[in-house]
Chain A
Amino acid sequence: MPRPRVAALALAVGVVLADSSIVVLALPDIYRELDTSIAGVTWVLVSFNLVMALAAVPAAILARRVGPGRTAAVGLAVFAGAGLACGLAEELSTLVLARCVQALGGAAAVTAALELLPATVGSERRAATVWAAAGATGAAVGPAVGGVLTELISWQSIFILQVPVALAAAVPILAVAKHEAATGIIEPELRRTGRPHLWANLALAMVSAAIAAALFLLVLLLIEGWRLSPIEAALVVTVMPLAAVVGSKLDEFVADARSRAAAGAILVSGGLAGLAFLPKATIALTVPPQILVGIGLSLVLSALTETALGGRAPQAIHGGWTISARHAGVVIGLLALTPIFTADIDEQRHDAINAGTAVILDSPINPLLKLDLAERVSERLEDEEGKVPTIGPAFEPLPSDPGERAEVVQLQGELQDQLDRGATHAFSTSFILAALLGLIALFPIALSREVEL
C-alpha cells in the first residue's frame, strides 16, 4: 500500500470536508469585519455546502470519465486557488463566490479520492472506511482549528493556510494523473450504477442538518451570547470531536448499522435538547450535551455512510450521493434555523434592553445615577448589535461611597445575569427544532436496509 498516497488522499478528504465547518468560529469576526448581517454571514457556510451538495455526484461522474487522478489533482488546485481568493476577499459577495468555487474543487477532490482509494488500499470496504474516517475527522476538528487560527492570526489565515495543505495533498496524486495522461483513461467498469440508497441518504441529510445547527448555534451562543473569544470557544467545542473518538470505538461492539444509526440520532437529539434547556449560562453545563452530540454524530454518520455505500458500485458515485445528502442537510439546517434564531436574538435584545432598564429603575441606587446608567447600559447593548456585552464598563466609575458601591455592584451582577440568561434562552427554540430534525431521521433509519439495489 503506497502510504504517501493514502495519506495524501485522506488529507485531501479531511481538508475539504473540514472546510464545511472550519469557518464556523470565524463567522462572528467575518460578520463584524465585512459589516454584514447574521443572515448574510451564514452564506459563507451555506454557499460552500450548497455547491458541495449540487456538485458531488456530477464530480464523481466526471472523475470516472476523465480519470480520478486528474480530477483529484485539478480539484485540489481549484480548491487551493479559491481558498487564496477567500483569504484576500474584502467583501462578502467576493468571499461567497470564492467559497462556491472552493466547493466545486472540493467536490471533485473528495469524490475522486474515493475512486482512487480502493486501488491504493486494496479493497472497497477499506477504502470506504478510510474515506469516511478522514471526512469525519476533518469535519470534527475543523471548528477548533478555525477558532485557533482566527484568534491567533485572523479569519483570513484559515483560507490562506489551506493553500499549502491542499497543494501538499495534490503532489502524490500527480503521479496518478501523469500516469492517466500517459496511458489514457483507466476504463471504468461499465456496470450499471445502482440507485442511491434513498433512506440512508435521507437520514444522513436530516442528521447533518441537526449536527450543523448544533455546531453553528453553539458557537454563536458561546461567542455572541457568552462573550467567549474564538480560541476559548474552540476549546469548548473540542468536546464534540473528542466524544466522537469515543463514539467511534462503539462501532466495534455493535455490528448492526441500523441500531448504531438510531442510537446516534437519539444521542444527537438528546444533546441538542440538553442545549435547549441549559439551566444556567455556564460552560460546564454545555459539556454533557456536547458529549452526547459527539458520540451520536460519530455513530450515526459512520453507520449511515456504511449503509449507503454497502454493496453498491461504483463507490465514487454513491460516495458522491452521501456527500450530497450531508451537505444538503447542512444547507437545510442553516437556512431553516437562521431566520428563527436571528428573530429570537432580536427579540431577546429588545427584551434585554427593557429588562436591564427595569432592573436599574427598580434598584435602590441613587436616582441621580439611574437615568445616566440606564442610557449607558442600553447604549452598550445597542452598540454590540446583538452581541451580549460585558456590562461592567457601563457601571464605571463605581461610586466612592462603600454602601452605594455595594448596591451598584449587586445591580451589575443582577443585570449581567438577566442578559446572559436571556441570550441563552434566545437559542432554545432553534436547539429544540434541531433536536426534532434528529428525531425525524429515525423514520428513514427504521426503513433503511444495508443493501437496497
Chain B
Amino acid sequence: MRGRVLVLGSIVVSLLLVGAYLAAGGSSYEPKQVQDPCKPRAWSNPQSLSEIANQFSNSALDGAACQLGVSRETLARALATPEARERFTEKYGIDDEKLARAVRAGLVRAVDDAEDAGALSPLIAVPLRETVQRIPLEQAIEIIDDAEGFLGDVDSFLGPAGDIIEELLP
C-alpha cells in the first residue's frame, strides 16, 4: 500500500514540476532568427536623421549580403575591422573587387529603400545612387559605418537650395 502511494506520489510530483515549467514557458525558446537578406526589410516611419541612418545601414548590409550569399550578420562582423574582413574574404573565397561590387550594390538598395520610404527625396536619391556606384570599397564601408554622417553631409551640401528645387519640381 505504502509502495503504491510512493510511486503515485512520485508520478504526481514529477508531472506537476514539468507542467509548471512548461506553463512558465520552458519549451518556448527559439533563437532570434536571422532574416534572409534578399527579402525586403520593412522600414519604420523614420523621424530623425539617426533613425534614417540606422535603417539605411541595415538596408545596405542586406543588399550587399544578398549579393554575396551570406547573412547580414556575417557581413556586418566582417566589415568591422580589416582583420575580420580578411578572415571573411579568405573563408568565403571572395576577392576585394567582388566585395566592393556587393557593398556598392547594397548602398544602391539602401538609397532605393530610403526613397521608397519617403526618407530621401528623389532630388537627393538620384545623385546619391550615382555616387555610391563609383566609390572605392573603403569609402563604401565607411558610409555603412557612419551613415548618419554621410546623410547629414549630403543634406547640408544641398542645403536650402534642395528645398527650393523640390518645390519647383512637378
- Mark A residues whose CB is within 8 Å of B: 250, 253-256, 258-260, 262-264, 266-267, 269-271, 273-274, 276-280, 285, 288-289, 292, 296, 348, 351-355, 357-359, 361-362, 364, 366-368, 370-372, 374-375, 378, 418, 421-422, 424-425, 428
Contact = CB atoms under 8 A, between A and B. Distances in A.
Given A367-B146, A370-B76, A374-B77, A269 B31 contact: no
A253 B31 CA distance: 47
A358 B22 contact: no
Interface string B28-52: 0101111100000000000000110
B32 A359 contact: yes
Interface in B22-80: 22, 24-27, 29, 31-35, 50-51, 53-54, 57-58, 61, 71-74, 76-77, 79-80
A124 B106 CA distance: 80
Given A354-B34, A367-B147, A424-B29, A374 B6 contact: no
Contacts of A262: 7, 10
Contacts of B112: none
A259 B11 contact: no
B94 interface: no
B51 A277 contact: no
A424 to B, nearest CB: 7
A266 B7 contact: yes
B31 A418 contact: yes
A78 B50 CA distance: 71
B54 A270 contact: no
B169 interface: no
Nearest to B76: A374
Chain B interface residue bracket vs A: 35 or more
B17 interface: yes
Nearest to B55: A367
Contacts of A367: 50, 53-54, 57, 144-148
A273 B144 CA distance: 47
A260 B4 CA distance: 9
A266 B11 CA distance: 6
16 contacts: A260-B6, A266-B10, A267-B14, A270-B15, A270-B18, A277-B27, A352-B31, A354-B34, A358-B33, A361-B73, A367-B148, A370-B57, A371-B77, A371-B80, A375-B77, A378-B77
B81 interface: yes
Given A277-B22, A292-B17, A370-B57, A254 B2 contact: yes
Given A259-B3, A259-B6, A371 B21 contact: no
A357 B76 CA distance: 8
B168 interface: no
Interface of B: 2-4, 6-7, 9-11, 13-15, 17-18, 21-22, 24-27, 29, 31-35, 50-51, 53-54, 57-58, 61, 71-74, 76-77, 79-81, 84, 144-149
Given A263-B9, A358-B33, 13 more contacts: A256-B3, A267-B13, A270-B14, A273-B17, A277-B22, A288-B17, A296-B10, A352-B31, A353-B73, A354-B71, A357-B73, A358-B73, A374-B80
A259 B4 contact: yes
Contacts of B50: 364, 366-367
A447 to B, nearest CB: 16
Nearest to A363: B54
A364 B53 CA distance: 10
A422 B13 contact: no
Nearest to B25: A279
Contact of B17 (A254, A289, A348, A358): A289
A292 B13 contact: yes
A236 to B, nearest CB: 17
Given A267-B14, A352-B31, A361-B73, A277 B145 contact: no
A424 B25 CA distance: 13
A167 to B, nearest CB: 42
A355 B14 contact: no
B105 to A, nearest CB: 18
A279 B21 CA distance: 6
Nearest to A442: B7
B73 A254 contact: no
Instruction: Pick from A253, A269, A274, A353 the residue with the most CB of B within 10 Å.
Output: A274
Nearest to A267: B10
Given A269-B14, A273-B18, A366-B148, A253 B53 contact: no
Ranked nearest first, the 5 interchain pairs of A and B with the lowest CB-CB distance are A270-B14, A259-B3, A277-B26, A375-B80, A357-B73
Given A266-B11, A357-B77, A374-B76, A421 B34 contact: no
Given A357-B73, A422-B31, A274 B17 contact: yes
Instruction: Pick from A270, A371, A374 the residue with the most CB of B within 10 Å.
Output: A371
A227 B146 CA distance: 35
A93 to B, nearest CB: 32
B14 A266 contact: yes
Contact of A277 (B18, B71, B79, B80): B18
Contacts of B3: 254-256, 258-260, 263
